[in-house]
Structures are given as structure tokens and as C-alpha cells.
Chain A
Amino acid sequence: MSKILVVDDEEHIRLLYSEELKEAGYEVTTADSGYKLLERIEEEKPDLVVLDIKMVDYNGLDLLQDIRNRFYDLPVILSTAYDTFKEDTKSIAADFYVVKSFDLTELKKKIGMALETRLPS
């Protein structure tokens, strides 16, 4: 079972993502901020991270850079309420992005693609 770490400072989003992704067959853990995120990733070894871009104390795009520098091939899906973040070059280090919605069809599709991605090791 693939393990997904959802990082979002909005509780209702963490609950929604958590419930629906568990229903879709994933193991889900959550974090409410970017605090010690790299250490958590190191410990929990998720197969994929869903990362909110705008959190109260953290910039998701900066966290994305840190993740990419330390865990080169860990899939990261950016989750955002607005798509203006695309103006920032840092966003291209993400595997995919989704606009937050109560319908998680797109998120599940992107998770599927990211987990299916295969490069010879």
C-alpha cells in the first residue's frame, strides 16, 4: 500500500484528503505545517507528498526546494487554492499541481500518475 503524507495547515483539507485517499486504498499521514518536515519524511518514508503552497508560517514552494534537494525523486504534488503560484519558477520542481477542490478526482489521477512514474534506477 502506498503511503501519502498530506501537508496542509487547514484542518478540513487534511481531513478531507485523508478520508478520501484512505478510501482509495492509500495509507495517509498528515502534517499541519512545514515544521521539521524533512525529518518527518526521513522517518516516515512516504511514497508521495501532497504539499499546500500557502501555509501560515511556511512557503510550500521553499519546502518543495528543500524536499527536492534532499529526496531527489520523491513525488510531490502541490495543492493550492490559486494557480498564480505558476509564475514562480520554483513550482517546476513539483511533479504535478492540483487546485484545491472537494472533488478529489484530479488529485487522485495525479497521485496515480506520480506513483506509476518509472525511471530505471
Chain B
Amino acid sequence: MPFYEENPKEIKKADLVVGIPSCNEAESIGYTVEQASKGIRQYFSSLDSVLVNCDNNSTDGTKDVFFSAPGDVPRIYLSTPPGTSGKGSNLRNLYEKARDLQAKVVVVVEADIKNISPHWIRNLAEPVLKGAGYVCPLYLRHKYEATLTSSVVYPLMRCLYGRRVRQPNVGDFGFTGKLLDSFLNSPLWTESVQLYGVDIWMTTIALNSRLPICQAVMGVPKIHRVKDPYAHLSVLFQQVVRTIFDQMAIYSNFWLQVRWSKPTSLFGTDSHEVETPLPVEVNVNQLYERFLQGFDKYQGMWERMYDQTICPKIQEIRSLGLQHFSFPTQTWARIIFDAANAYHRMGEPERATLLDSLLPLYLGKVLSFVKKTERMSLQQAEEYIENECTVFEENKPYLAKIWE
């Protein structure tokens, strides 16, 4: 249960709960609250609704801004105790509150989105009212935005769980109240899940629930506070990949039965004009250097961990140099599968090193993607990623074999 709660209107029941996780978001949460309120009033005026700010005990006045922002939708403020951080911890409080409120639909939107508008709430909630179990948004993204998703998360999740969810860890979701027990009763609740891993953890649970999944076309990019993509890369990579690997052990009975993949339903395909994604700069020299640095530090580990055909391949990739750099998808899929299998079999102290050793290889794969797609349009780059996913799916029998 939350450490602290303020429920001034004494709300005891709500059909629609819109949750806004936060940690020191006083500057931005007011706009999110205002837009979410408008969305609720514009599209769901017949539902009993509530806005819930699930906070990390912010000290910058987030709570005051949350309560004073324009809009007439009732509000509840929840907080973790001082010293407890992470979006996952906030969301756990939200799940418990939404269950108490007997919510039929729960929507989560991040507090720092600069371009959120009322239709976002509609796109995330309406598919659930029409029968979907879980809704992931499809934001407009530049081909070099969210490369962890394009290179690891999407192809791996798709080949494991058989559903083509393009942005499975984007941070905003809609889901049925039926999933709240699945989230609260999950056997996995690690530090990674409490932090960056929570988004992919939720999607994995939803995929395993067998409820219909929907992707909501947002038609716009998601613009939030400017972040340096490399500042938290190592931590983000560790926590997201660790969470996927941890859940592979829990859901192996499911994913071992999956062959190929299927699309999801879509929502919002007609409603908006499509904008242009924001440009993303990539420093190829930095990617190349970090790939090379991996050899000094992790070559021994790679030799122990990967199938004997992989290390000569990695050496071959290195020998190509920056100009001709290319990382074959088949090799990348095998590396991810071998890493997942090794992670499954090793003790905790070694797991962190394994994930660290995977990071330079991931950066090499990103470099290869950038070079292959530099002249491609967004749509062509998407097709390239789709083909990479097919390679993962084709190689899945290898994963099943080594896992069992």
C-alpha cells in the first residue's frame, strides 16, 4: 500500500483511472493533468473517472501542482516513502489503488510529456472499452530513436511471445482492470522492475495473459524532457534486458510453444494527420569506439558464453573497420539467444557482468543498423527492422533447443 495518500473527494469507485507516475515533475505535471482531464471529459464523460498521481515523494511541489492544475476530474495523490524511487514502485501503488477503486480501464501517461493532448487518453482507453486487454501506443519515431527497442526489445519480444508490438516499452499504456491482479501477483518484483524495467515487465505480463493486444496509432512523436541517450544507457540496458531475461524463465512454458508471430489490432488509424518525427543525431565514431572497447574487457567472457561459431564472427566484424562495418542479424540473434540462455543458468554475481558484456555488442549492432539505413526513409528502415525480426523468428528453434 502507498506510504501516503490524499483523496480529498473521498473517491471510492471509478470506472476509468488515469495514472501519472512522477518524481519531481512540478514543472511539467500541470500540463499533463490539464490535458488528461480534458481527454476524460471530452471522450468519457459518462464514466466515473479519477486522476491518480503516483509519486516518489517529490520535494519540488509536484503534489501541489497536481492538485491545482486546471480541470474538474477528481484527483488522488499517492506516494512511496522517502528514499523509495522508481516508476515501478509508483505503478505498484497505482495498481493497488485502481483495484480498490474497481477500475474497468486504467491508463498510464508519463508526467513530462510536452505534447500530450486529449485524444491520447481516448486512444489508450477506448480500445479497452471495446474489448482489448492491453494497449500500447504507436508514436511516430525517427529511425534512430529508441534503438534498444528496435535492435533488442522488439525482435526478441516478438519472437518469444508471438505478438508484433512495435513499441512495447514506451512508458504509456492502457489496460483492463482484469490485469491488475496479474501485475500485483507477479512472481517477479526485482529492483530492475521497480526502475526502468517496469514498462517491459507490464507488456510481458499482458502478452502472457492471452488478452487481446491493441496498438494505438498516436500520429505524433512523444516529446518529453530532453535526455542524453547515453547518460543512462548502461543502467537502462541492464534493467530492461535483465527484466526480459528474468521473465523468460517465468514464461518459458508459453514462449516455447510460440512459432512465428501475429499482428495486433490497431486503433486510431484514421483520426490524425501524421507529423514528421524529430531528428536524432547519432555519433557513429562513439558507437564504434565503444564496440572496440568491449574486446579489451569482455572477450574472455564472450568466448565462454557464446556458441563456438560466434566469437570468430565477432572478430570478423571487428576486422571490417568503421567504413565497411556490418553486424549480421543472424549473428546478433544468436548472441541474444546465447546470452539469455547463459543468464538463465548462471548465478546472480555473474549476471551483471554478462549484461555489461552484451552492451558493446549491442552498440555494434546499432552502428550496423545506422550504416545500413542511413539512406533509407523511415518506412524503409521499418521494413529493414521487420526483416530482422523474421531472422529472429527463423532462429527461434535454436533458442528452444539450447534452453531445453
| B178 beta carbon closer than 8 Å to chain A | no
Stretch at the interface among B111-119, B224-232, B255-263: B255-263
Pairwise interchain contact A68-B263, C-beta atoms closer than 8 A:
yes
Residues of A within 8 A of B264 (CB): 93
Taken residue by residue from 220 to 262, chain B's Cβ proximity to chain A (1 for < 8 Å, 0 otherwise) reads as 0000000000000000000000000000000000100111111
| B371 beta carbon closer than 8 Å to chain A | no
| A44 beta carbon closer than 8 Å to chain B | no
Q: Name A87's closest neighbour in chain B (CB-CB).
A: B379
Pairwise interchain contact A117-B269, C-beta atoms closer than 8 A:
no
Pairwise interchain contact B260-A69, C-beta atoms closer than 8 A:
no
Pairwise interchain contact B258-A92, C-beta atoms closer than 8 A:
no
Taken residue by residue from 62 to 92, chain A's Cβ proximity to chain B (1 for < 8 Å, 0 otherwise) reads as 0001001100110100000000001111101
Question: Which B196-226 residues have a C-beta within 8 angstroms of A?
Answer: 210, 212, 215, 217
| B383 beta carbon closer than 8 Å to chain A | yes
**Can you list 29 A-B pairs with a CB-CB distance of less than 8 A?**
A65-B266, A68-B263, A68-B266, A72-B212, A72-B265, A73-B262, A86-B383, A88-B269, A89-B138, A89-B266, A89-B269, A90-B269, A92-B263, A92-B266, A93-B264, A93-B265, A95-B262, A95-B263, A114-B260, A116-B259, A117-B261, A118-B258, A118-B259, A119-B162, A119-B163, A119-B257, A119-B258, A120-B257, A120-B258
Q: Given A65-B269, A86-B383, A119-B257, 20 other A-B contacts at CB below 8 A?
A: A65-B265, A68-B263, A68-B265, A69-B265, A88-B269, A89-B138, A89-B266, A90-B266, A92-B164, A94-B263, A95-B262, A95-B263, A116-B260, A117-B162, A117-B260, A118-B258, A118-B259, A118-B260, A119-B258, A119-B262
